[in-house]
């Protein structure tokens, strides 16, 4: 244990007692805990992987007194705590704190000096404040707008040139992010076996990369729908620039309101199912939208039954994706089958998404000054924490990314191909 403190702190027996109790606490990785007054102590054994800089008493409270994802996240984004080193290295320690396996709360109760400091309030201007039924159209629109209607300049600073905001597909280990995103777009088109002239719907089309790729290289009549006006505006500009206006369109609407535009031969949903509150409603709706023998590719983040998400308010729900809802692949497939779909292929791209998010995070770090100029310092820290934490969740297997290929069968038609040859060979 190392201390570099003022004279008054050095003789504070409660502070010394806290240091003695915490320094012996076992953790999955060793870190240096540094307080605002210079006092330091090492948590865990071995060489510290990073330094957890605590800037205020409120930050120390968040770490030690009943820590949660939300409290720790707010302590970071509002500057009560910093991480010196790689932010991703702190997540195993944060997991241990939140789970409470080492009884941190019991140990810290002895440190009464913490309780003499009041909480700081009034800084939560970035928190999502939504009201009403989570499944209502108005609330869904607000939740989507909260995350996706940030300036397009912000997204261009750390996504690829086409603004593909979903798991990339790394056919080669050394592929660039741009190459891997194009490979993902093409993989989706091949899995759906897109053919010229077919009607193709992208549910939650983002900035339009998939509909443009499908129309340009597969000759389909593509329609994308999104609730984000800013996304739709950018997608429309890109369609115009590529000369695809005859066969490619984008509309601002809830994809549950697209039935009047159908039916469709092929449908994709890439990163949209996470915003749906009822899987049964979702799959029954898509089934109705499809022509007989129509194909649906559902691409979404899933959870692990053996590592379930924690209950209660989370940092992600309050500051990143309000009202998001994740299910396991088992729950997803069962809901698809209840709707009548024939499940033809399920592929887990967890490692691909872990690498994708790590690349996004690195690009965000390099663009920090520009990101803060386009948005602000707190928004930068929100995305810094969100991307670092998401990469960690994929690495440890708490999150997965499944592509599920579904067929609306028609008994009189020939059966689907027996192998994946057409999907993996261009």
Q: Is residue 286 part of a domain?
A: yes
214 and 334 both lie in a single domain: yes
58 and 156 both lie in a single domain: no
Last residue of a domain, one of 116, 149, 175: 116
Q: Decide: 181 and 172 in contact? Cβ < 8 Å.
A: no
167 and 96 both lie in a single domain: no
Q: Tell me the pLDDT tens digit for each residue of 87-121.
A: 998 888 888 878 765 454 444 444 444 444 434 44
Q: Decide: 299 and 267 in contact? Cβ < 8 Å.
A: no
Q: Tell me the pLDDT tens digit for each residue of 162-183.
A: 999 999 999 998 999 999 999 9
Q: Is residue 99 part of a domain?
A: yes
Q: Tell me the pLDDT tens digit for each residue of 69-81.
A: 899 999 999 999 9
Q: Tell me the pLDDT tens digit for each residue of 282-330.
A: 999 999 999 999 999 999 999 998 887 777 678 888 888 787 889 999 9
110 and 154 both lie in a single domain: no
From the list 147, 392, 145, 403, the residue with the least C-alpha distance to 269 is 403
Distance CA(52)–CA(57), nearest Å, equals: 14
* Chain position carrying tokens 């490619």: 248
* Order of strands across the sheet that contains 81-84: 40-43, 31-34, 50-54, 81-84
What's the distance, Cα to Cα, between the start and end of the chain in Å? 59
Q: Tell me the pLDDT tens digit for each residue of 235-268.
A: 999 999 999 999 999 999 998 988 888 899 999 9
Distance CA(401)–CA(268), nearest Å, equals: 15
222 and 353 both lie in a single domain: yes
Distance CA(289)–CA(265), nearest Å, equals: 9
Residue 34, domain CATH: 3.30.1050
Distance CA(342)–CA(184), nearest Å, equals: 23
User: Is the model's pLDDT at 275 over the cut of 70?
Assistant: yes
104 and 194 both lie in a single domain: no
Q: Is residue 397 part of a domain?
A: yes
289 and 398 both lie in a single domain: yes
- Computed on alpha carbons and rounded to an integer, the radius of gyration of the chain in Å comes to 24
From the list 396, 398, 371, the residue with the least C-alpha distance to 382 is 371
Residue 160, domain CATH: 3.40.50.150
Domain of residue 29: give its range.
Answer: 7-116
To which H or E segment does residue 270 belong? Answer: strand 264-270
pTM of the model: 0.87
Last residue of a domain, one of 85, 116, 147: 116
Q: Decide: 149 and 260 in contact? Cβ < 8 Å.
A: no
**Which residues is 144 bridged to in the sheet?**
none
From the list 391, 373, 275, 315, the residue with the least C-alpha distance to 126 is 315
210 and 98 both lie in a single domain: no
DSSP letter (8 states) at residue 149: T
Other CB atoms within a 10 A radius of the CB of residue 20 amount to: 13
Establish whether the linkage from the previous residue to 193 is cis, with ω within 30° of 0: no
Q: Is residue 124 part of a domain?
A: no
Distance CA(206)–CA(226), nearest Å, equals: 6
78 and 192 both lie in a single domain: no
Q: Tell me the pLDDT tens digit for each residue of 229-239.
A: 999 999 999 99
318 and 380 both lie in a single domain: yes
Q: Decide: 72 and 99 in contact? Cβ < 8 Å.
A: no
Distance CA(134)–CA(310), nearest Å, equals: 19
* Chain position carrying tokens 């031969």: 265
Last residue of a domain, one of 116, 147, 175: 116
Q: Is residue 127 part of a domain?
A: no
C-alpha 352 chain-centroid distance: 14
Q: Is residue 158 part of a domain?
A: yes
391 and 354 both lie in a single domain: yes
Handedness of CA 378, 272, 219, 197 (dihedral sign): negative
Total of domains in the chain: 2
Q: Is residue 131 part of a domain?
A: no
Q: Is residue 58 part of a domain?
A: yes
**What pLDDT score does 115 carry?**
41
Handedness of CA 147, 141, 322, 256 (dihedral sign): negative
49 and 148 both lie in a single domain: no
């Amino acid at each position: 244990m190392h201390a570099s403190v003022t004279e008054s702190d050095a003789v504070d027996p409660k502070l010394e007692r806290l240091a003695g109790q915490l320094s012996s606490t076992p953790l999955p990785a060793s870190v240096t805990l540094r307080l605002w007054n210079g006092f330091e102590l090492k948590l865990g054994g071995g060489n510290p992987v990073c330094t957890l800089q605590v800037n205020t008493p409120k930050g120390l409270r968040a770490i030690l007194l009943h820590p949660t994802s939300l409290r720790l996240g707010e302590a970071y984004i509002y500057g009560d705590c910093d991480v010196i080193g790689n932010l991703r290295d702190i997540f195993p320690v944060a997991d241990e704190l939140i789970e409470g396996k080492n009884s941190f709360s019991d140990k810290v109760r002895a440190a009464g000096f913490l309780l003499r400091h009041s909480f700081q309030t009034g800084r939560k201007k970035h928190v999502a404040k939504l009201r009403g039924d989570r499944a209502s159209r108005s609330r869904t629109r607000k939740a989507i707008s909260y995350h996706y209607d940030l300036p397009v300049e912000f997204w261009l600073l750390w996504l690829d040139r086409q603004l593909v905001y979903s798991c990339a597909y790394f056919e080669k280990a050394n592929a660039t992010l741009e190459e891997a995103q194009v490979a993902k777009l093409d993989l989706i088109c091949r899995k759906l076996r897109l053919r010229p002239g077919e009607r193709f719907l992208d549910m939650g089309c983002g900035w339009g990369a998939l509909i443009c790729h499908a129309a340009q290289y597969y000759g389909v009549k593509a329609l994308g729908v999104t609730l984000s006006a800013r996304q739709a505006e950018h997608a429309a500009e890109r369609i115009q620039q590529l000369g695809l206006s005859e066969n490619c369109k984008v509309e601002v609407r809830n994809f549950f309101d697209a039935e009047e535009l159908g039916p469709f031969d092929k449908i994709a949903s890439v990163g949209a199912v996470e915003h749906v509150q009822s899987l049964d409603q979702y799959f029954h709706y898509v089934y109705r939208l499809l022509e007989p023998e129509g194909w649906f590719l559902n691409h979404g983040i899933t959870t692990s039954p053996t590592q379930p998400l924690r209950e209660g308010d989370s940092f992600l729900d309050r500051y990143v994706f309000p009202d998001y809802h994740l299910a396991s692949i088992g729950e997803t497939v069962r809901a698809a089958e209840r709707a009548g779909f024939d499940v033809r292929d399920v592929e887990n791209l967890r490692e691909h998404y872990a690498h994708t998010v790590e690349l996004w995070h690195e690009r965000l770090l390099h663009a920090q000054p520009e990101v803060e100029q386009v948005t602000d310092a707190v928004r930068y820290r929100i995305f810094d924490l969100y991307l670092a934490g998401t990469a960690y969740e994929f690495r440890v297997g708490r999150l997965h990314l499944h592509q599920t290929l579904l067929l609306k069968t028609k008994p009189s038609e020939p059966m689907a191909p027996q192998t994946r040859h057409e999907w993996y060979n261009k």
